Structure 1
């Protein structure tokens, strides 16, 4: 996830147990064992082991299958190249490409599930997000040989031989800050395991050593495109690991290899289609029923959402794609699940990347069959002249104390705590202090927990002392001197470091995009021949409003779905409906002013609304809602994951004909 880029990552989750901890993050153990290793009945292997034209192998080296069923001209010069012709003279079968990770800490068994669940040509894994890069940066400080997603290596320990046997190539951004180190570790694993695979990696995104980024910056990584991945696959790589590429590049690179799209020649529509498919795949099960607004309808229809299957795309040479999943897996794929993921962590109509700018306002979605949604109509434009670069720096120290207020006089108890701690806060003032009272209590409650509210104090400062024992000691001393029923949710700690994310844009030539091929050859990856500065897209015409009629005071979620997420310090909320009549109402009713009224937290912030008539959707971008980004934990929900559900729970007048 680019979150970005993407990509999803949940605060409070994510890394192997030996990774350094940041404020508000805990790290999953990567020692979990697969739930099962049996293959589903009917699993078949790819029928062909043909390799792309021009790929040479050392004698006796086994390698994975390439594009199958491709009738190529005997003389490559006798027919126009696919990029220069309206249609390829011979068309490869669709590329079947799956995803097995939406964030660092996602389901460990997913690689095995995707390899055994059905046919695939390529399996991708997205392990990077803004928070992950910060954690890997601290990892690298401790040991320069680290800086990559170690879980990926453990997954390969179990599944490398299986992928080789089934002819599935693997492309993952698990290299993080050290793709060369991960590639070396994969080679060592393959040698120890006796699995003859060819490993390549992509580098050049790490710009930290160039300097000039400012004080305290731990990571500075440009978001690269998919051409380096394509070059590695053309050279016969079975495993390709990268550093910071866009999440969609994990799909555009294999698509360019599969269909023979040569670097610098621009099939913008085809590339844009692959970008959109990649964006749908990048967050894993969010495309197959995970985090889905209408999950209760799916459950009522008999869908099993306990363990959604991971998604895959069947990408065609024209850039169109079908989103689906392996047969017999949980979850669902319908127009709603794909719409939700399309809107996730996006902004306006132009979805810019290093290879192409995809026009999200051109996307059409069609339910082609059970668990099959076709993406079509995607238009593309030249990419922008600069590369997005993500910076992570240590912002200082953070601490949090949560007071439990029970029973009567909740507001008065909260004011007493604030008054009692005012002296400690004044003597050594933090740079940031916030108090938040969550009225989780109920009147005349049947349990003590239901009768209790939570008062949350969050402090930040450059020095640990300010947020540490000097403050927490003052809070603990209130144990016998505070409000009646005084207690805390947990003993206060000494504070933790927090990070700050910033996005900048740099000239393309600053990044030395390099494909390091399986034989060690270093291939410089050229940038696009043409770029275009991004410009706003004119707002589409509003649909005709519904005629006046009876309305009912009801939650927005009665008719609309939503999905929200983070981009640095900004949040987005995508809202969609499922009928033309509902769209005629939504486009007129849920405006920027309406959003500010429904979500008072946004009232003083800059909010932009983007319309997507083909998706029957509006997308709101709320600037600054998340402060300095997820690692700074500026608010209760630091990644805005629940923001869309809060909006759906808010009431407004809705036409009765829609209910």
Structure 2
């Protein structure tokens, strides 16, 4: 007999997400499992430095605060919790959860997954001297904990999708060879992992929905089925919207092509089907899976140096001349000069604006250097000392600070056989999770034949007249998912948006490697721009260090678009 669908919800998309979400999800309707994603590359750096200062820390403390309010509610409703809030210290968080449960008088079986922390072996593995080194574990350790009766499962750095795949394995009994089912759950987990981004948050087409509907989007949930298919939805009566548009947006977020690789399987995103299934319901099915790669990804964070910034305000006319004077004075006063000094401007000259802010342009100087003192008081002092000696109207947005250290993220890869994966069960027993017996190297997919597009008259218009977008980051790489509303629009998009055209539309990418991956099932293309974000969010001097708005910038750029699509 086929087990019933598993109702899996999400209550966190990042460390700092809506604190009330756990309660909202528990009270909003029936659930079997509630997940929470608290980790990103930058978060691992933050938690790694936290643990370096205090060995008992290194986990997402906000989860404990949420649990203090809601642990009793979760137990009363029979909802099991699976979270990666353990960060760099999952054992420490598991102990803290047990202590909290004892203090609250709520009997709770707590388990955790460990083995991802490779920092003690960094030199052996050739990683240098990072601050953190964490492998992306799969879902079978989570499943082992759930099968042992855990009410709360805490992990460190597992793949985001594993928070959903693990409960699926435990509930449906999937084995290592069930690649299609696991891949379907991976796609489902990818949709849920960023919380309200699947229910209308950060949506390109936000203006097509009533403002009131988007004020407080509900968090998403999925009805996961035995074959790995799922229905993406949300609790009745909550804000936001779930439709093919919102699910497509999240599927395309922070991917690097049609193959979505994890340690348990590879999900083929070019096989995903999305079908409306009623109000606020989208069926996600058809996902094909493949054997996982032999290597597992490792998140490395190392100290990159020190940074500081100052922002000058230029008001009225002669903006270029004022900027030139400010730059020349400031740079002349820097001794020594920082290793990297990057200037950028925000805004355009509008001397006749009806507010002073509207008539102002921001001139931003960002500096990085291996030596803290170079970007510390000397840097800040050089700006402050210009106050009575520079361009007319001189002022800063804020007093410059003393600078701060920054980290650099880099991916590494090691054989799955070199990474321990241990489930620590509620009774304290430890179970080693073996790596997959069958793996396969990732290979490029065959090129998708271009669909012929009927020639016809064109008109100059923004790309956004045809395409919607969602963009994000993977270290220093930016990805932009673009999708069309119609088959005709999708065919034109796939044919027109070549790497060279992307470089023309995004001048900042003119000299960078660009790849465009067609995803016809989603009426989409996935654009990957390597190096656009420098060394990643913690080190980037770019105006938008995580590439969150690259998609909207690209939508605003003009192209010759067939009038039939407009």
TM tier relative to shorter chain? over 0.9
- Residue in structure 2 matched with residue 450 of structure 1 by the alignment: 358
In structure 2, distance between residues paired with 1:575 and 1:443: 36
**Aligned residue runs from structure 1 range 251-650, under 5 A:** 251-262=164-175, 265-299=176-210, 304-425=213-334, 427-545=335-453, 547-650=454-557
**Residues 315, 351 of structure 2: 8 Å contact kept:** no
Distance 1:449 1:563 in 2: 30
1:652 aligns with 2:559: yes
| Alpha-carbon distance in structure 2 between the residues aligned to 1:541 and 1:279 | 27
Q: Which moved more, 1:518-527 or 1:592-601?
A: 592-601
Q: State the SS of the aligned residue for 2:226.
A: coil
For 1:249-290, what per-residue CA distance to the aligned partner results, in whole angstroms no more than 9, with x for missing partners?
00000000000124xx31110000000000000000000000
Q: CA deviation at 1:463?
A: 1.2
- Secondary structure at 1:189 match in 2: helix
Structure-to-structure mapping, 1:58-73, within 5 angstroms: none
**Cα RMSD for the two superposed structures:** 1.1
Distance (Å, rounded) in 2 between the aligned partners of 1:183 and 1:204: 15
Q: Deviations over 1:573-627 (max 9, x none)?
A: 0000011111121112222121111111011111011000111101111001111
Shift in Å at residue 519 of structure 1? 0.4
Alpha-carbon deviation of 1:303?
6.0
The secondary structure found in structure 1 opposite 2:350 is coil
Give the whole-Å Cα distance in 1 for the aligned partners of 2:564 and 2:219.
Answer: 36
Tell me, what secondary structure is at the counterpart of 2:63?
Answer: helix
Distance in 2 (CA, whole Å) between partners of 1:145 and 1:440 is 49
Q: 1:171 aligns with which of 66, 71, 82?
A: 82
Partners of 2:14 and 2:519 in 1: CA distance: 27
SS of 1:630's partner is coil
Partners of 1:422 and 1:335 lie apart in 2 by 51
CA distance in 1, matches of 2:69, 2:363: 46
- TM-score by length of structure 1 reads 0.84
Distance 1:92 1:252 in 2: 15
Deviation at 1:214, TM superposition (A): 4.9
For residues 6-35 of structure 1, give each alpha carbon's deviation from its aligned partner in whole angstroms, at most 9, with x where no partner exists: xxxxxxxxxxxxxxxxxxxxxxxxxxxxxx
CA distance in 1, matches of 2:466, 2:6: 36
Retained in 2: the 8 A contact 1:390–1:502? yes
Counterparts of 1:139 and 1:518, CA distance in 2 = 26
The 5 A counterparts of 1:31-110 are 90-110=1-21
2:92: which partner in 1? 181
Give the alignment partner of residue 224 of structure 1, picking from 117, 123, 137: 137
Mapping for residues 23-38 of structure 1, pairs under 5 Å:
none
Name the SS for the 2:177 alignment partner.
Answer: coil
Residue pair 1:395, 1:497 contacting (<8 A) in 2 also: yes
Provide the C-alpha distance between the structure 2 equivalents of 1:216 and 1:460, rounded to a whole number of angstroms: 20
CA distance in 1, matches of 2:341, 2:48: 27
SS at match of 1:186: helix
Shift of 1:424: 2.7
C-alpha contact 2:9 2:35 (8 A) present in aligned 1 = yes
Is the 8 Å Cα contact of residues 628 and 634 (structure 1) preserved in structure 2?
Answer: no
Write the distance in 2 (CA, Å) between the matches of 1:490 and 1:185. 39
CA contact (8 A) 1:440 1:450 kept: no
Q: Greater shift after overlay, 100-109 or 367-376?
A: 367-376
Give the aligned partner of residue 33 of structure 1: none
Once residues 467 and 357 of structure 1 are traced to their aligned partners in structure 2, the CA distance between those partners, rounded to angstroms, is: 44
Q: What's the offset of the Cα at 1:440?
A: 3.6
Aligned counterparts of 2:231 and 2:345: Cα–Cα separation in 1: 47
Structure 1: state its 5+ residue gaps. Answer: 1-89
CA distance in 2, matches of 1:556, 1:180: 49
1:144 matches 2:55 = yes
Number of residue pairs matched by the alignment: 564
Cα offset, 1:215, TM superposition: 5.1
1-side partners of 2:20 and 2:540: how far apart? 30
Looking at structure 1, the residues matched to 121 and 488 of structure 2 have their Cα atoms a distance apart, in angstroms, of 54
Tell me, in whole angstroms, the C-alpha distance in 2 between the residues paired with 1:411 and 1:147. Answer: 47
How far does the alpha carbon of each residue in 1:180-204 deviate from its partner, in whole angstroms, 9 at most, with x for none? 1100111111111111111000000
CA contact (8 A) 1:440 1:454 kept: no
Task: Report the Cα distance in structure 2 between the residues aligned to 1:443 and 1:595, rounded to whole angstroms.
Answer: 33
Distance 1:202 1:580 in 2: 44
The whole-number CA distance in structure 1 between the counterparts of 2:31 and 2:53 is: 38
